[in-house]
């Protein structure tokens, strides 16, 4: 089920944005076959496979890509695919014999998706790095945090997943659409620094217009404004407050019992600290549940700050099915939603190699060849 049903994707196993991209495509119906290493590389955070949610909705085959016959098998799979995903340092796939030129020669319609941090070229292209390093170079990390405090790492949402996985998935789907018209594939070069920089486009515009300070914690959306921040309640929990528009702000003040006319003008940023003190003092008088009951569902633009343990139980999420339980693990449901071709329920992550041999046969690899490759250790049944 899903709008990508019928498309086939070969995923060369990696960490972070590559698996996230593959999960997004698989959630929406694409048949994704992940090629894992026969021996665990120790990549990522070790955990039971049932909790490795980025690997849901697809099967992996354990293939030795250091062996010529493993490379030959991978090329045969690529020949049967619509797209591929790889997330290695520049030049790695070329050294393996699985670079874009080789793969596109086998399958001219292939969309070859590449995921890196620094990009395929440039002076930093071959350097190691992680999400925090990539967003540091784009201005994004510097902009996140409170005034007078160091930049705050925003998990790895901005580089790995927002600037990386989502841009790669978007690029692959765009290239698949173009291939329907031209009959030709191409390389999609997705770099986390490019994606993170792209996400910063509106803020670069505001900065150029001299309406967004380069100092964090002094702007509307970075905790500077009193009407866009989180406030501690009487029970130590937090309420998010975001009535940016004046009519919503008036609604917020009225509902929490503050006379808006008694406050200094928020159009003068020098008054922001004083207004914050008034709001903070008021919010601190009641527990979060009381404020939620009073404000949720109104135009006050306020919502409780929920933990990951709390979020799935919120009535709005339960009504929409935003979170689902699969194999005993609570997790986010596929997104976005489609009216005519809805996504199905994701399948739980499977151990590397589980069902891999059968998947290879489903992809058109002769059963006798699969049996021989298994006997020779080129294809394994379980990751060591």
Q: Residue 382 has what pLDDT?
A: 77
Tokens of 336: 């976005």
Whether residue 216 contacts residue 279, with contact meaning beta carbons closer than 8 Å, is answered with no
Whether residue 39 contacts residue 65, with contact meaning beta carbons closer than 8 Å, is answered with no
State pLDDT tens for residues 263-302.
999 999 999 999 999 999 999 999 999 999 999 999 999 9
Active-site annotation, residues: 130, 160
State pLDDT tens for residues 178-219.
999 999 999 999 999 999 999 999 999 999 999 999 999 999
- Chain centroid to Cα 263, Å, comes to 40
The full length of the chain comes to 384
**DSSP code, position 223:** T
Whether residue 282 contacts residue 256, with contact meaning beta carbons closer than 8 Å, is answered with yes
d(CA 337, CA 315): 19
d(CA 229, CA 243): 10
Whether residue 25 contacts residue 166, with contact meaning beta carbons closer than 8 Å, is answered with no
Q: Residue 46 has what pLDDT?
A: 75
The mean pLDDT values, 10 residues at a time, for the chain of 384 residues are 97 96 98 91 73 96 97 98 97 98 98 98 97 98 97 97 98 98 98 98 97 96 98 98 97 98 96 98 98 98 98 98 97 97 96 95 97 96 74
Q: Residue 142 has what pLDDT?
A: 98
Q: Residue 266 has what pLDDT?
A: 96
Q: Residue 45 has what pLDDT?
A: 67
Domains in the chain: ranges and CATH? 8-199+324-380 (3.40.50.10540), 238-304 (3.30.1540.10)
Cβ neighbors of 250 (< 8 A, separation 6 or more) are: 260
C-alpha dihedral, 335 to 341 to 345 to 351, nearest 10°: -90
d(CA 323, CA 332): 4
Q: Residue 44 has what pLDDT?
A: 63
CA distance to 115, 191, 205, 263, per residue, from 198 (Å)? 16, 11, 12, 37
Sign of CA pseudo-dihedral 52, 55, 57, 60: negative
């Amino acid at each position: 089920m899903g709008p990508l049903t019928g498309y086939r994707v070969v995923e060369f196993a990696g960490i972070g944005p590559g698996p996230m991209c593959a999960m997004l495509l698989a959630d929406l119906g694409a048949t994704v076959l992940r090629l894992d290493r026969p021996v665990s590389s120790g990549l990522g955070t070790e955990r039971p496979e049932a909790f490795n949610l980025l690997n849901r909705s697809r099967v992996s085959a354990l293939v030795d890509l250091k062996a010529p016959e493993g490379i030959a098998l991978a090329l045969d799979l690529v020949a049967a695919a619509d797209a591929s995903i790889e997330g290695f340092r520049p030049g790695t796939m070329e050294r393996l014999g699985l670079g874009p030129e080789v793969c596109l020669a086998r399958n001219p319609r292939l969309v070859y998706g590449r995921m890196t941090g620094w990009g395929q070229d440039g002076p930093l292209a071959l350097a190691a790095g992680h999400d925090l390093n990539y967003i540091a170079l784009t201005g994004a990390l510097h902009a996140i945090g409170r005034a007078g405090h160091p930049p705050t790492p925003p998990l790895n949402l901005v580089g790995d997943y927002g600037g990386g996985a989502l841009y790669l998935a978007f690029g692959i789907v765009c290239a698949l659409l173009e291939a329907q018209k031209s009959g030709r594939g191409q390389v999609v070069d997705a770099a986390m620094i490019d994606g993170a920089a792209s996400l910063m486009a509106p803020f670069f515009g505001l900065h150029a217009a001299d309406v967004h300070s380069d100092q964090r914690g002094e702007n509307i959306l970075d905790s500077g404004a009193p009407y866009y921040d989180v406030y501690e309640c009487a029970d130590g929990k937090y309420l998010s407050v975001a009535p940016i528009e004046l009519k919503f702000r008036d609604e917020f003040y009225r509902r929490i019992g503050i006379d808006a006319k008694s406050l200094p003008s928020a159009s003068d940023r020098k008054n922001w600290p004083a207004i914050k003190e008034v709001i903070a003092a008021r919010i601190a008088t009641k527990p979060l549940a009381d404020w939620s009951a009073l404000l949720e569902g109104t135009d006050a633009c306020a919502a409780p700050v929920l933990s990951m343990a709390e979020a799935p139980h919120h009535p709005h999420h339960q009504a929409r099915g935003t979170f689902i339980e699969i194999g005993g693990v609570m997790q986010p449901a596929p997104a976005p939603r489609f009216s005519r071709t809805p996504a199905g329920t994701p399948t739980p992550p499977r151990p590397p190699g589980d069902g891999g041999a059968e998947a290879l046969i489903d992809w058109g690899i002769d059963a006798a060849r699969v049996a021989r490759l298994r006997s020779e250790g080129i294809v394994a049944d379980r990751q060591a």
